[in-house]
Structure formats: structure tokens, C-alpha cells
Chains A and B, each alone.
Chain A
Amino acid sequence: MKKLPKTINITLKIWRQQGPKSKGHFETVPLKNVSVHMSFIEILDTVNEQLTLEGREPIAFDNDCREGICGACGAVVDGRAHGPEKATTLCQLHMRKFSDGDTIVVEPFRARAFKVVKDLVVDRSALDKIIQAGGYIAVNTGGSPDANALPIAQEMANKAMDAAACIGCGACVAACPSASAMLFVSAKVSQLALLPQGRPEAAKRAIGMVKAMDGCGFGNCSNHRECENTCPKEISIANIARLNREFFKASFASEE
């Protein structure tokens, strides 16, 4: 039958910061006999149980669904947002991806627009502000035509779905040398631009969302492609190209 669970010993160097205005520092926590079946979030749970019993304050971190879809969790692990595994959120990263004796560095997502709340928790409300600037189709409840009244080519629906898979975790921002939210903005602009329902507001949306992004203190795209490389949902930078087209088109045509 199954072999006994493998365990490893690791050392965590974790960022501690009491509040947005406090100075942060790294704290070293050695962990012994860690089951390789644990997720990275469960490692943080384990550390917190240990700290609590020692009478110290646990590490603050965000998480919720623990199955890679809510977008709440996230930290920079060994220099990469969500850690070393491709297309994986922090909660789905398992300890078998690490080796016995590893020292692992854990820091919050860093960006001008994401201020640190405490330890690994950051304020990502700027992403909500960008959506408020047009990341929707303005239909009121009631009065919609029959769902099948408007056929949409399967290919378009699929592309829209690829873009719509964004979980709003902010890893793209943390990975970007300019701390840009272009991948996030482009995912929503693309989803809605690809669908006929989204066309009437396409120009307004592209201009509004980019303006909101700039206003929140995010940088601009510098074509490093780090965002795409880091995105746990593998959102393609083809969406950024589409956003640029939508934006230019809108800038020429719009009266705003």
C-alpha cells in the first residue's frame, strides 16, 4: 500500500509588519517534520499554531477558499508571486515542491497601489475601484431578451471565458517591475469586448478602466511578460494587446 508520508525540515523567513506605517522585518521560523502533503497555507497554519502556543503573535495572511479560485491568498515566495509552481495559487502549492533543508523566503505582494495591512496581508481594494470604472455590462435586472436570442460564435465565447478566468488575486501586479495592473484590466476589457453584449460600452469601458488604473497608482505595461508568467490562471498577454487596441480605438473615436 502507500508509503509512509514523507516529511521534510524547512526554515521560513517571513515578513512581519505590524501595520501600514510600521517598519517591517524578516522573522526566521524553523519547522521540523513537515508533511509534504501540506499546502503552503497549511504550513502557515502550522507556524501560527506554534507561535500561538509559544505566546507570540501569529502571522496575518489572507486566504479563504483554499482551492485556488477566490483569489484571496497570495504572497511572494522565494521571489515569485504564489511561489515556484506554474499556474498555481499559494493555497494549491504543496510542500512536495520543496526539498529537505530549504530556506523559504515569504513576503507580501509589493506594489505602490497595494499597501501592507499587516504581515502578509495587503489592501487590494484598488482592483475593485478599477472594476467600478466600467468592468461590467450596464444592464438592469429584468427585461433581458431570451438567452438564445443572440448566438455567439463558440470560439469567441471560449476566448471570453479564457479572459474571464481571472481571480483578481493581484499576482500580476506583484510580479510586474512597474507594478502595473494591465493584465487584470485587460482580462476584463477583453472578456466584455469579445462578446456582442459588451460592445455598446466598449470604448467607455477601456478608457474608464485605464484611467482608474492610473489613478490608483499602478504603473504602465513595460512588456516584461512577468504577469503572464506568474498568473495562476494563465491569462495571456494577448489580452493586453487587445486592451491596447480597444484603448486606441476608443481614444480616436471617443469624445471623452
Chain B
Amino acid sequence: MQLDAKIPGGPLEEKWDRHRFDLKLVNPANKRKFEIIVIGTGLAGGSASASLAELGYHVKTFCIQDSPRRAHSIAAQGGINAAKNYQNDGDSIWRLFYDTIKGGDFRSREANVYRLAQLSNNVIDHCVAQGIPFARDYGGLLDNRSFGGAQVSRTFYARGQTGQQLLLGAYGALMRQVAAGSVEMFPRREMLDLVIVNGQARGVVVRNLITGEMESYAADAVILTSGGYGNIYYLSTNAESSNVGACFRAYKRGAVLANPCFTQIHPTCIPHTGDHQSKLTLMSESLRNDGRVWVPRNSGDIRDPQDIPESDRFYFLEEKYPSFGNLVPRDVASRNAKDQCDAGRGVGLTRCAVYLDFSDAIQRDGKDVIAKKYGNLFEMYERITDETPYKMPMMIFPASHYTMGGLWVDYNLMSNIPGLFVLGEANFSDHGANRLGASALMQGLADGYFIIPYTIGGYFAGTILEPVTTGHAAFNQAVQEGQAKLHRLMSIQGKRTVDNIFRELGKIMWEFCGMSRNAKGLEQALQLIQSLRAEFWENVLIPGTEKDFNKSLEKAGRLADSLEFAETMVVDALARDESCGSHFRTEFQTEDGEARRDDENFCHVSIWEYQGEEERPAFHKEPLVFENVELSQRSYK
């Protein structure tokens, strides 16, 4: 298989401008002749749908929730990065580019990341024009704050609800196009298959989640913006309906997956309390500015935290990383917390938590200062745990949060299937092996507002598209296959519920393909996943009927995909014999326990091509070429 990233030539700074000029255009009168399907209405899907409709294309947009306003981008708290340099603190497009490449541990494409940094400024301009109520200083200009992995203040924010506000901006733009008749909106639909005709993506089959009926839609191009697969761990900060399904369906139809093992585990989440737990809630990483992370020095010490004297407390991040202390990057903080719990020093009900203690900060700055900075977060914590961090140390534990891996795309954000574009978290393109805080919102909106409107035109102008309707045999076949799968699921009538099996898959992935991995564990995970998959297809119990609103059936379909996808993740983790960013293979570490990259052998994107059920996927690689930055080892000691 030939995979061409289609990175334009010339100096880094000029690539995007040059490329935009080289892309062929579709004249305004002809745009209305093209139909585009968009799957998902998060930041990427909402912004893409609106922008394409503004240009004159006919857009059909689908979302899984009851309203496009509920996509999971809404839960992003912290902010959105841009290289505005409004603070006069030395920021620049180049610096944002460099921080992002380095934060990703040199496993992303220079050209894509540079373009992202360039477009970050347009994103902010557009969002302000839309009426996003960003935080402002006393003079009325935009305020910024700092985030992990950067030494400048470049993060724009709207209280702790930046994702919500940006999403509602994109949703407003989308609703405007619905009112204008340019976008047809289909809520409560789940994509079950991608339809390919003559090698081109020409439509989708979706399930109407209210009636249970299958529906077919044809188009000239399909854009997937269905988000990440962090729910593979069952417990995660993702919403319940976030799933890998749409991407995995495309994978089974020939789209290739890139770096699926790159998953981000966020260090500061509220720990779980028992088996009833359905999700984990994130606490902003800004808390690590003032909170001190510790565990009892002796394993099995079950005293209340206030009864443990200073000499019996182990401030493990401060001791191990004196220069960065509690502010080490996400991957390092998460791994260390897990190590402490594995060594029996964990705290809380399940012994799977570490303390994040604000008592020193409160003593130093006073309660009011701390309340002003973190009041809303403390309130949120108290609502969930019934304990106030003003008196008791917070308890935190890492949780699955974001996935850097995804469908492979070229510089135009098109997959290897012509006419199938992938935007936002669903693609793999910009964050390498680790994403920095406040960069997900930036990427989703840059992809949707400012990249796809150009690159899709280039595709249409340079491609011959035969007329295709839903009467085509390929649609019929996809509907038949989808229906057969649902029949099969409903007919099993076994003894275990969907959630029960899903929870077991989550535990396997967390244990063996989570924060740290090794070849032996990964091999074991492969066996466990295969036998769990076999059990699922023999023993799952799905109540209700097929042609009805049936959440259990929806979840079962997603779990079936996850049980296959999990294996691809593990295979990818096994093949990458190095540690980089979020991917920590215990066999590959430095003497003092840090990630050891192998640039000689693994400076590439790992790409996986579907080969059939129960077959190992075929491996391909896209070498990463660094012409502008020097590869360096990260150190936080």
C-alpha cells in the first residue's frame, strides 16, 4: 500500500499558503451540486458543517445525541491555545509549533503542526466574532492563562467551560445553516457503515436510534468527526456515547488506522468508589500549580491523612523531580501515581488514589486566594465526593481522557479512501504521542473552520464522481450486513449484560495497555481480549427489541467494535519497541525510570490495515522527517 502524506514542498512557513494556492477551486455556482455527509457535531463536525454550508455545499449532518449541542467537546474545561502573543511574553507561531511537536515527543508531522499553529490565531478571531464570552482583563482585552508544557500564557478561556462556549458557537453557526436550508440535521443517528462505490466514499448507513430502522444516505464525500476512543477503558472522562464505531467501520472498509496505542491518561481525575462507577470526572490540571501530591511513606498506612505526620508522607513527585516537582507533564505524573498505588501506598476506599493537598497553599496564601483560583473546582469535587478540599486533601487518580491515535489522514485531512475525510480527535494528525493541554479545541476548530473548506474543494475539483444514489447495490449490501449483525446480537440471549462485559474489557486494557505496558502483558492482553470477544458473541444478554429505542442494543454494537479495536491497539503497542510520550513500555526506560525513545528505529507513524476477522492487521509506516526541529530527550528532573 502506498501512503502519500502529500506534504507540500518549500519552507515550513510557506507550505500552507502555497498549498492553498495550488488546490483547485470549485466555482460558487457548482458548489451547490455537491452533497457532503458529516458524522458528528463536536467542534470539528459542527464547525465543518457550518463552514461548508456557508460556502454553498449541501450538507447532511448526523449526531448520536438528541441535539448537536451535546457533543462531548462541550465538556472541555481549560481553554484553547493560540499564538497571539497578546501578553508580550515571547510567544510566536514558531513557539506554539515547537511546544506542540516537543510535547508530542517528536511523533507528529512538522507540516501539520506548523499549519495548526498558524491557524490558531484565525480560530480565536472567528470565535470572538461569534460572540464567545472569553475572559477579559479590566481594559476589556482578552485574558490568557498558562497551561502545561508551555512557558508562555497563550490559553484563551471562558471560565472552566471553554469547550462548552466554543461548541455552542459552532452549534449556533450550524443552526443558522439549518434555518437557511443548507444543512439537513439528523440527530439520534448512529453510523453503522461507510459505503464505498468505485473506491470512493459515497455514503453512510445509519441507525435511527428512536425507531431502530436502518437509513441510507448518499453523498459526494463523507467527513468523519466522531471523536476519540478513550472509552475503550470503560472508565474514562469521555461521555457515555463517545465511541470508536464510526472510525472502526471505516477501518473495516479499508481506511487505515494510525498509532492507535497513543492514548492520554490524565493525572487529576476523581477516583472511582466502587463497581457501580460509570465514569470518571476530570479536575483541571491547573490544580497542580498549588496542590502537593503525596502518599503515606509506608504501604498499608491506613491512618486519616491529618494523622500522618510530615515524616511519614512521601511527596513522590517533588522528591523524584526536584526541578519540575508537581508540574511534570501529564504522562509522567500519571505513571508515578500508578506506581505508588501498585506499591501498596494508595489511599481512599479502593486504595487507588493519591492525595493532592492544598493545606500548605492555604496556609501560605489564605483560604480566600485559593478559593478565588479554584473555588468552582473545589465545589465540583465536594458535590461528587462530599468532602471539602479546604479541610481534607483531595484524592485523585489518573483516567483515560483523550486519544492521539486515530484514522490516518494526509495533509488534506483525507484518509487513504478518496472522499473520506477525518477531522478532530478522530484523526491522528497533530498531537504525536502526547497532547498538550488546550490543544484539542484548537485542532478541532482549525480542522473544521479553516482546513476542510479548502481541501475538500481541491478534492471535488480534481475528481470524477459518477452519480450515485442509495439505490446502488453497495448501500443494500451495507444495510443487509448491519441488519445481520443486529439480528445476531439480539439472538444470543446469554447471561451477561453489555456493561458487565464492557467493564471487563476496560480492566484488561487499563491493566495491560494503559499507563505502562510491556511485551509480556500485551501478549496476555491479546489472549484475554480474544476470549472475552468469544464470550461476548455467545453470552451477551440484550433485552428489548431491534426496531425500538434500545440503549442496550446500541451499546452492544459499540462493544462489539471495541472488542476488535482493542486488539489493534494492543498489536500497535507491541510493535512499538520504544517508549515515547504516553506510550511507556517498561522494557524501554532510562536508568532512572524515564521514557527512552528510539529515534533510529521508531521515528515513524505506525499504520494498520484491516485484513479480515481474526486476522492480524497489515503493518505500514510513514517515516517522520524533521527538517526544522532537532530531536531532543525530554527531562524534568
A, B in one complex: yes
Can you give 13 contacting A-B residue pairs, CB < 8 Å?
Answer: A37-B274, A45-B276, A49-B500, A64-B70, A64-B240, A64-B241, A92-B384, A128-B175, A136-B176, A141-B453, A144-B125, A158-B133, A164-B158
Pick the interface stretch among A55-63, A213-221, A223-231. Answer: A55-63
- Shortest C-beta distance, A4 to chain B (Å), equals 8
B48-89 contacts to A (CB < 8 Å): 50-51, 54, 65-70, 72, 74-75, 84, 86
List the B side residues contacting A48 at CB < 8 Å: 552
Asked whether, in the complex, the Cβ of A195 is within 8 Å of the Cβ of B133, the reply is: yes
Among B133-184, those with CB < 8 Å from A are 133-142, 158-159, 161, 164-165, 168, 171-173, 175-176, 178-179
| B175 pairs with A131, CB closer than 8 A | yes
A69 touching B74, Cβ below 8 Å: yes
Could you tell me if A96 and B386 are in contact, using CB atoms closer than 8 angstroms?
Answer: yes
Interface assignment of A242: CB less than 8 Å from any CB of chain B: no
When each residue 132-146 of chain A gets 1 if its CB lies under 8 Å from chain B and 0 otherwise, what string results? 110111111110111
Q: Which residues of chain B in 106-149 are interfacial with respect to chain A, using CB atoms and an 8 Å cutoff?
A: 122, 124-131, 133-142
Q: Does A117 contact B (CB under 8 A)?
A: yes
Q: Which residue of A lies closest to B135 (CB)?
A: A157
A53 engages B541 (CB within 8 Å):
yes
Q: Is the C-beta of A238 less than 8 angstroms from some C-beta in chain B?
A: no
B279 to chain A, nearest CB (A): 5
* B70→A146 contact, CB < 8 A: no
Per a CB cutoff under 8 Å, which of A56, A154, A168 touches B136? A154
Q: Known: A60-B549, A145-B125. Is A154-B66 also a contact (CB below 8 A)?
A: no
**With A37-B273, A139-B130, A147-B84 as contacts: A117 and B549 at CB distance below 8 Å:** yes
Q: A42-B276, A65-B75, A94-B383 given; name 7 further pairs at CB < 8 Å.
A: A37-B274, A45-B278, A65-B240, A118-B549, A131-B69, A136-B131, A153-B136
Q: Which of A21-29, A119-127, A174-182, A247-255 contacts B (4 or more CB under 8 A)?
A: A119-127
In the bound complex, residues from chain B placing their C-beta under 8 Å from that of A46 are: 276
Chain A interface size, under 10 / 10 to 19 / 20 to 34 / 35 or more: 35 or more
* A72 interface residue per 8 A CB criterion: yes
Q: Please tell me if B284 contacts chain A, counting CB pairs below 8 Å.
A: no
Contact of B239 among A64, A136, A145, A152 (CB under 8 A): A64
A41 in contact (CB, < 8 A) = yes
Instruction: Kindly state whether residue B460 has any CB partner on chain A within 8 Å.
Output: no
- Residue in B closest to A43 when the chains form the complex, CB atoms: B276
Instruction: Give the residues in chain B near A241, CB-CB below 8 Å.
Output: none
Docked-complex contact B450 and A141, CB < 8 angstroms: yes
Chain B residue nearest to A49 in the complex (CB): B497
Determine whether B303 belongs to the interface, using a CB cutoff of 8 Å to chain A: yes
| Minimum CB–CB distance for A160 against chain B, Å | 4
Q: Is the CB of A69 within 8 A of B75?
A: yes
Judged by a CB distance under 8 angstroms, whether B215 is at the interface is no
Residue of A nearest to B545 (CB): A57
Q: Does B66 contact A146, Cβ atoms closer than 8 Å?
A: no
CB <8 Å contact, B239 and A70: yes
* Minimum distance in angstroms from B105 CB to a CB of chain A: 29
Flag if B133 contacts A164 (CB, 8 Å).
yes
Is residue B349 contacting chain A, with contact meaning CB distance below 8 A?
A: yes
Indicate whether A64 sits within 8 Å of B72 (C-beta atoms), given known contacts A96-B386, A148-B142: yes
Question: Is B499 at the interface (CB under 8 A from chain A)?
Answer: yes
Let me know if A191 is at the binding interface, CB within 8 A.
yes
Contact A1–B302 (Cβ < 8 Å): yes
Question: Distance in Å from the Cβ of B242 to the closest Cβ of chain A?
Answer: 8
Q: What's the nearest-Cβ distance from chain B to residue A226, in Å?
A: 22
**Do B175 and A137 touch (CB < 8 A)?**
no
Q: How far, in whole Å, are A153 and B139 apart by their CA atoms in the complex?
A: 7
B229 CB, nearest partner CB in chain A, Å: 16
By secondary structure, the A interface counts as: loop
Once A66-B239, A132-B178 are accepted as A-B contacts, the answer to whether A152 and B67 lie under 8 Å apart by CB is no
Give Cα distance in the complex from A9 to B530, angstroms.
Answer: 39
Of the candidates B70, B127, B274, B450, which one forms a contact with A72 in the assembled complex, judged by CB atoms under 8 Å apart? B70
Contacts A37-B274, A141-B54; A5 near B349 (Cβ below 8 A): yes
Q: Which residues of chain A are within 8 angstroms of B274 by Cβ–Cβ distance?
A: 5, 35, 37
A104 at the interface (CB under 8 A from B): no
Q: How far is the CA of A121 from the CA of B273 in the complex (A)?
A: 28
Which A residues are in CB contact (< 8 Å) with B142?
Answer: 147-148
**Residue B254 lies at the interface, judged by CB distance under 8 Å to chain A:** no
**Chain B proximity of A194: nearest CB distance (Å):** 8
A145 near B69: Cβ-Cβ < 8 Å: no
Residues of A near B138 (CB, < 8 A) are 154
Chain A positions within 8 Å of B279 at CB level? 66-67
Interface string of A107-120 (1 = CB under 8 A from B): 00000000001100
Contact B67 A157 (CB under 8 A): no
Contact B134 A157 (CB under 8 A): yes
Say whether A160 contacts B551, CB under 8 Å.
no
Contact check, A56 vs B176: say whether CB atoms are below 8 A apart. no
Residues of chain A contacted by B450 (CB below 8 angstroms): 141-142
Across-interface contacts of A192 in B (CB, < 8 A): 131
Q: Is the CB of A140 within 8 A of B54?
A: yes
Q: With A67-B75, A124-B66 as given contacts, are A141 and B175 in contact (CB-CB < 8 Å)?
A: no
Q: Determine the chain B residues whose CB is within 8 A of the CB of A222 once the complex forms.
A: none
Taking A52-B552, A67-B75 as contacts, is the C-beta distance between A137 and B139 under 8 angstroms?
no
Task: Tell me if A45 and B499 are in contact (CB < 8 A).
Answer: yes
Per CB-CB distance, the 10 closest pairs between chain A and chain B, nearest first, are: A136-B172, A151-B140, A1-B302, A144-B129, A161-B133, A132-B179, A37-B273, A160-B133, A147-B128, A144-B125
A216 CB to nearest B CB, Å: 14
- Interface flag for A83 (CB, 8 Å): no
B617 at the interface (CB under 8 A from A): no
Alpha-carbon distance between A7 and B3 when the two chains are bound, in angstroms: 57
Contact A131 B172 (CB under 8 A): yes
Contact of B51 among A70, A127, A141, A146 (CB under 8 A): A141
Establish whether residues A132 and B72, one from each chain, have CB atoms under 8 Å apart when the complex forms: no
Q: Cβ of B70 and Cβ of A1 under 8 Å apart?
A: no
Verify if B449 is at the interface (C-beta below 8 Å from A). Answer: yes
- Enumerate chain A residues within 8 angstroms of B158, measured Cβ to Cβ: 161, 164
Does B69 contact A128, Cβ atoms closer than 8 Å? yes
Chain A, Cβ-Cβ closest to B296: A1
Binary interface profile of B, 312-347, with partner A (CB < 8 Å = 1, else 0)?
A: 000000000000000000000000000000000001
8 Å CB contact of A58 from B65, B239, B552:
B552
Task: Say how far A185's CB is from chain B's closest CB, in angstroms.
Answer: 14
List chain B residues, Cβ under 8 A from A94: 383-384, 386
Residue B281, interface by CB 8 Å: yes
Contact assessment for B497 and A52 in the assembled complex, using a CB-CB cutoff below 8 Å:
yes
Contacts of B65 in A (CB 8 A): 64, 70, 72
Return B237 CB to nearest CB of chain A, in Å.
8
Shortest Cβ distance from A123 into B: residue? B66
Q: Check if A165 is an interface residue, CB within 8 A of chain B.
A: yes
A186 at the interface (CB under 8 A from B): no
Q: Which of A1-48 contact B (CB under 8 A)?
A: 1-2, 5, 35, 37-39, 41-42, 45-46, 48
> Which B residue's beta carbon lies closest to that of A136?
B172
Q: How far is the CA of A48 from the CA of B75 in the complex (A)?
A: 26
A124 CB to closest chain B CB (Å) equals: 6
Q: Which of A2, A138, A148, A157 contacts B133 (CB 8 A)?
A: A157
B129 touches A197 (CB 8 A): yes
Tell me, yes or no, whether B11 is within 8 Å of chain A by CB: no
* Residues of chain B contacted by A136 (CB below 8 angstroms): 130-131, 172-173, 175-176
Q: Which residue of B lies closest to A198 (CB)?
A: B131
Q: Which residue of B is nearest A133, CB measured? A: B179
Residues 342-388 of B contacting A (Cβ, < 8 Å) = 347-349, 383-386
> Closest CB of chain A to B403's CB: distance in Å?
17
Q: A56 contacts B240, CB within 8 Å?
A: no
